[in-house]
Amino acid sequence: MFGYRVPAPDEAMLISGGRRGLGGAPFRVVTGHGKFVLPVFRKTRFLTLSMCEAEVTETCVTRQGISLHVRAVIAFKVGNDTESIINAGQRFLSDQEQMSVLTGRIFAGHLRSIIGSMTVEEIVTERQKLAAEVLDTSKIEMAKIGLIVDSLQIQSIDDGDTGYIEAMSAPHKAAIQRQAQIAQAQATQASVEAEQVAARNQAEYARQTAIVRAEYSAEVDRAQAQAAQAGPLAQAHAQQEVLAAQTELAQRAAKLRQQQLVAEIVKPAEAEAERIRVLAIAEAERMKIQAAAAASYDRVALDRMLIDQLPLIVKEAAGGLAGANVNVLNGADGLGEIAAGLVAQGLTILDSVRQNLNGQNADGGAEKVKGLPELQGYSGTSGKDTGEGEREDGPGDAR
């Protein structure tokens, strides 16, 4: 819009003409907003509110009379309040570059004044204290011209060729060097120890690696050996199983053959032996029965023969008495006793023969009685054997 002016954020717009500003200032101050300005009748100017910088390089003499070259940097700006803007506008609006020059001069004077009251040691070791004192002493003057200082930095302090600062720092340098050497020695020792530890660790790692490799190699060798032996072992096991099967088959065949032999030879032989034994037992039993029967028959025949021969025996005994000179004392009774004795003697002989026959075996048939010669051959005269276990009596046998 024609006649409407707006200042920048870091500027203050100063409008002159018309009525006066605050405190009788010849202009009005506008910041942060725009304002309509009548052309020709009003005139506008802009004052910067941005940060400015001033550098100070000054040779100062300390309280000890030692010259120091001090270099400092001041950061300042125009204050944001209306009073500061009016003060700065009245002084620097036409030539705003003069703010840095004037600020540098103001601070140079205060810097020489404050350094003159301090020693080199204080200046070197307490730079922040020096900057704070310079700011405090220059604050009032800077406010009068509408400026405020944001910071003051002492960048360098140099004593030139005097070597005071260097001499002052020599003990500290020596101590620092000594500490540095100690630290270096400690660092070297620590480094050597670390290297030794690293070497030991590396050797231990190499040893463990070698052991593990050896174990792996041994395990691989064992596995290869087992793999190499697996074929022959499997073949041997297979052959062993085949031999075992063949052995078992041979044993079964032998057992089967044995059973066949038992069935073909032993069993028939046992059956034949049993048959022969049974036949022998039966034959022996038959012969025993026949012998018993024959013995029984012979005893019966002998008894019959003895009975038949008993009169002859008595007769022969009586004939023996015929030519004997026998005196009979009691007559007819005595003769009767003699006859009775002869009969009794014949009966005694018959009993003796029977007892002898009972003590002999029956398998030999009828044996001839020893001591009786007169009985031998009697069977041929008294009867004949028909061969069938029966005997036919002669015509003269007594029954």
Interval 135-181: pLDDT, tens: 888 888 888 888 988 888 888 888 878 888 888 878 877 888 888 88
Higher pLDDT, 341 or 137: 137
Report pLDDT for 319.
61
Q: Are 313 and 346 in contact (CB under 8 A)?
A: yes
Torsion (CA) 231, 232, 238, 243 in degrees, nearest 10: 170
Cα-flanking dihedrals φ and ψ of residue 296, to 5°? -65, -40
Query: For the purposes of burial, counting CB atoms within 10 Å of the CB of 85, is it exposed (0-12), middle (13-18) or buried (19 or more)?
Result: buried
Residue range 62-77: mean pLDDT, rounded: 89
pLDDT at 56 over 50: yes
pLDDT at 254 over 80: yes
pLDDT at 380 over 60: no
Instruction: Write the Ramachandran bin of 23: left for phi over 0, alpha for psi from -120 to 50, otherwise beta.
Output: left
Q: Please give the angle made by the CA atoms of 79, 84 and 85, to the nearest 5 degrees.
A: 90
Higher pLDDT, 141 or 397: 141
| Tokens describing residue 178 | 């000594």
Residue range 382-392: mean pLDDT, rounded: 39
Alpha carbon distance 134, 104 (integer Å):
12
Alpha carbon distance 280, 380 (integer Å):
35
Residue range 345-352: mean pLDDT, rounded: 66
Alpha carbon distance 302, 52 (integer Å):
189
Query: For the purposes of burial, counting CB atoms within 10 Å of the CB of 302, is it exposed (0-12), middle (13-18) or buried (19 or more)?
Result: buried
pLDDT at 381 over 50: no
| Percentage of residues in the chain having pLDDT higher than 90 | 3
**Averaging pLDDT over each range in 146-150, 285-289, 337-341, 362-366, which range is the top one?**
146-150
Which has the minimum average pLDDT: 207-211, 283-287, 347-351? 347-351
**Residue 148: other Cβ atoms inside 10 A:** 14
Average pLDDT, the chain: 76
Helices 267-320 and 332-358 meet at what angle, rounded to 10?
170
Higher pLDDT, 234 or 393: 234
pTM of this prediction?
Answer: 0.41
Higher pLDDT, 372 or 251: 251
Report pLDDT for 345.
66
| Percentage of residues in the chain having pLDDT higher than 70 | 73
Report pLDDT for 211.
92
pLDDT band at 375 (very low <50, low <70, confident <90, very high): very low
Residue range 66-73: mean pLDDT, rounded: 89
Helices 98-116 and 127-144 meet at what angle, rounded to 10?
130
Residue range 275-302: mean pLDDT, rounded: 77
Alpha carbon distance 318, 340 (integer Å):
11
Report pLDDT for 73.
92
Alpha carbon distance 349, 342 (integer Å):
11
pLDDT band at 299 (very low <50, low <70, confident <90, very high): low
Report pLDDT for 183.
86
Higher pLDDT, 36 or 306: 36
Report pLDDT for 224.
86
| Tokens describing residue 37 | 């300005």
How do residues 202-224 score in pLDDT, each as one tens digit? 899 899 999 998 998 898 888 88
Report pLDDT for 334.
56
Alpha carbon distance 252, 309 (integer Å):
79
Q: Closest Cα partner for 75 from 155, 154, 156, 148?
A: 148
Alpha carbon distance 56, 115 (integer Å):
14
How do residues 72-121 score in pLDDT, each as one tens digit? 999 999 988 888 888 888 888 888 888 889 988 989 888 888 888 888 88
Tell me the one-letter amino acid at 95. Answer: D
Beta strand ranges found along the chain (DSSP E) = 4-5, 11-16, 27-30, 35-36, 43-48, 52-61, 67-78, 147-158, 383-385, 391-393
Q: Are 45 and 99 in contact (CB under 8 A)?
A: no
Residue range 19-38: mean pLDDT, rounded: 75
Higher pLDDT, 396 or 33: 33
Higher pLDDT, 315 or 160: 160
Alpha carbon distance 249, 238 (integer Å):
16
